[in-house]
Amino acid sequence: MATSADELREEVRRRYAESARAVTRGGCGCGGGSCCGDEESSGAFGEALYDAEQRGDLPEAAALASLGCGNPTAVAELREGEVVLDLGSGGGIDVILSARRVGPTGVAYGLDMTDEMLALAQRNAREAGVVNAHFLRGVIEQIPLPASSVDVVISNCVINLSVDKPAVLAEIARVLRPGGRIGISDVVAEDRLTPEQRAERGSYVGCIAGALSKAEYEAGLQAAGFAQVSVELTHRVADGMHAAIVKAVKTG
């Protein structure tokens, strides 16, 4: 069983690489043991969280590679000309949708640590005819973008997979411009659950064991310099565990 931060990160990378390979072979990305969940929670993850119109405008591989727990582009209120960053961009579905929303004067970046996912995302963006989408290799604890260079940060069921969540929240605050905002979908635990109880409900790579509680998420964002913090639970993914919409605005 993985115990160290490096081992956990490598386990996550390996699982998502296999998901990308499964999609490339024409299958579903859930086959790699991803955040798609088990039978009980399968409806709470993946492409079903996007409406038919959105799925119809995407390459099939982008929809199949969607492993998230929400649809952050539906809550981020993206505007023409904005710069958007998607943390853990996977097969590129949210980057492609964001690129279209911000239009030709805007830019959508996707950041991922998995080479196989980056290759899949780049292929999907080409097939979608999106030219203002750019994909970066790296980890979300060290975002390879300058300070104050982004208007909006989105993410779809990825921050719970980080081995250093305070670093992620601090990096989000660093790259956002003053007044910049976040629109994140993530798995969040009820405050009553201890970390040990969260681990009993699912694996780390299954987006359960590493999830923050609602209160921990709110406190972490406030400590990183965010205001107007909102963590709204939306649907159940396991006992005491929920998909959530996380919003906040960078102060200063």
pLDDT tens for each residue of 140-173: 999 999 999 999 999 998 999 898 999 999 999 9
Query: What angle in degrees, to the nearest 10, is found between the helix axes of 5-24 and 115-128?
Result: 40
**What's the pTM?**
0.82
Q: How far apart are CA 39 and CA 110, in angstroms?
A: 29
DSSP string, the chain: ---SHHHHHHHHHHHHHHHHHHHHTTS-GGGGT-TT--TTTGGGSSGGGS-HHHHHTS-HHHHHT---SS-GGGTS---TT-EEEEES-TTSHHHHHHHHHH-TTSEEEEEES-HHHHHHHHHHHHHHT--SEEEEES-TTS-SS-TT-EEEEEEES-GGG-S-HHHHHHHHHHHEEEEEEEEEEEEEE-TT--HHHHHHTS-TTTTSTTPPBHHHHHHHHHHTTEEEEEEEEEEEEETTEEEEEEEEEE--
Fold of 5-250: Rossmann fold (3.40.50)
pLDDT tens for each residue of 42-94: 444 444 444 544 545 555 544 444 455 667 777 788 999 999 999 999 889 89
Q: How far apart are CA 29 and CA 154, in angstroms?
A: 21
Q: Which of 9-18, 38-47, 103-112 has the highest mean pLDDT?
A: 103-112
pLDDT at 69: 64
Contact 63, 53 (CB under 8 A): no
Q: What are the residues whose beta carbons fall under 8 Å from the beta carbon of 217, sequence distance 6 or more?
A: 186, 188, 231, 244, 246
The number of angstroms, rounded, from the C-alpha of 100 to the middle of its chain's C-alpha atoms is: 18
Which of 229-245 are b and which e, b meaning 16 or more Cβ less than 10 Å from the residue's Cβ? bebeebeebbebbbbbb
Categorize the per-residue pLDDT at 3 as very low, low, confident or very high, splitting at 50, 70 and 90.
low
